[in-house]
Amino acid sequence: MQNSENLLQIVTNDTRDSILNMDIVTPSIYASVFSKYADDHDLSLENEDEISREILQKECSFLTELQSQTSKNANILSETTTKAITAMRDKNETLLQDVLKETEALRQEVEKLKESVYRDELTHTYNRKWLHDNYIDDEKRFTKNGLLAIIDLNYFKLINDTYGHIIGDKVLIFMANHLKSIERDIVRYGGDEFIILFPESTHENLATKRLHKTRESILAKKLKAHEEMFTLSFSFGLASFQQNDSLAEIIENADKNMYNDKVKIKSRITGI
């Protein structure tokens, strides 16, 4: 089930990315694109109802748990607020210290909830929800300035087809862990696509240098699967963004730059 669920997530992300810039998407168009990616990943949809039911149960369970924890935290906050008012009114230093401890414990619980909502389950990078809640408004425009790098693994489909999706998942985790060395916000944007967000103060040359360094570090390593060795690499493209810029347009600009980079890097390396 877990492997089928992972494949469904990959196919869904690929489908969503493919139709993102289409003006009109009918159910039949979506089904056609989805089926194409399902075939590419050898995903059988014969037991689709069963898989969908299990995924739905899992998601409902997560939402129920989230709702329960949120309700619990709301009650704690209400009680703590009442104590704080009493402590300040009575100038009760002991009670105020208790309130501070409870508030810190509540803050930590809220942070844990945010982690579960904003983290990609596989790579433990941020997910799209985090990106939209922290950088994008309701009109899908940026709310701040900065520099965006889009990362795409080279020959990832070939790795999946050759060694299987379990190895593919390990490759994604390996890649994410190395990207984290850049020490910037990282988002898993699609199946094998990541976004790195640099602050406004970062010069493009510096970002390029750090990405090149990370890529060379990855290229220097040999990965092993089923007693075979292979090399991993990625291509990247940069695009600066300003407040009110369209997310779709910035992604498109970064994609164009990534294509040029991919041509160069693939002149150095070949598929497995």
Asked if residue 271 belongs to a domain, the reply is no
- Determine the pLDDT at residue 148: 95
pTM: 0.63
Query: What is the predicted pLDDT for the residue at 2?
Result: 46
Do 107 and 158 fall within a single domain? no
pLDDT averaged per 10 residues, the chain (length 272): 62 72 74 77 64 60 64 67 72 76 71 72 87 89 94 88 84 91 89 91 90 90 83 90 93 90 79 64
Domain containing 248 equals: 128-266
What is the predicted pLDDT for the residue at 69?
A: 65
Q: Are 135 and 166 part of one and the same domain? A: yes
Does 123 reside within a domain? no
Q: Choose the final residue of a domain: 91, 118, 145.
A: 118
Tell me, yes or no, whether 75 and 203 share the same domain: no
Of 76, 95, 118, which residue constitutes the final position of a domain?
A: 118
Looking at the fold, whether 181 and 74 belong to one and the same domain comes out as: no
Percent helix, percent strand, percent coil in the chain, to nearest 5: 65, 15, 25
Is residue 36 located within the same domain as residue 52?
A: no
Is-contact 17 193, C-beta < 8 A?
yes
Look at the chain and report how many structural domains it folds into. 3
Q: Are 52 and 149 part of one and the same domain?
A: no
Q: Is residue 78 part of a domain?
A: yes
Q: 185-188 and 193-199: which strand pairing?
A: antiparallel
Are 201 and 146 in a shared domain?
Answer: yes
Sign of CA dihedral 252, 15, 188, 140: positive
CA distances from 272 to 156, 163, 175, 203, 225 (A): 10, 10, 16, 34, 11
User: Is 272 inside a domain boundary?
Assistant: no
Of 225, 210, 80, 96, nearest to 158 by C-alpha is 225
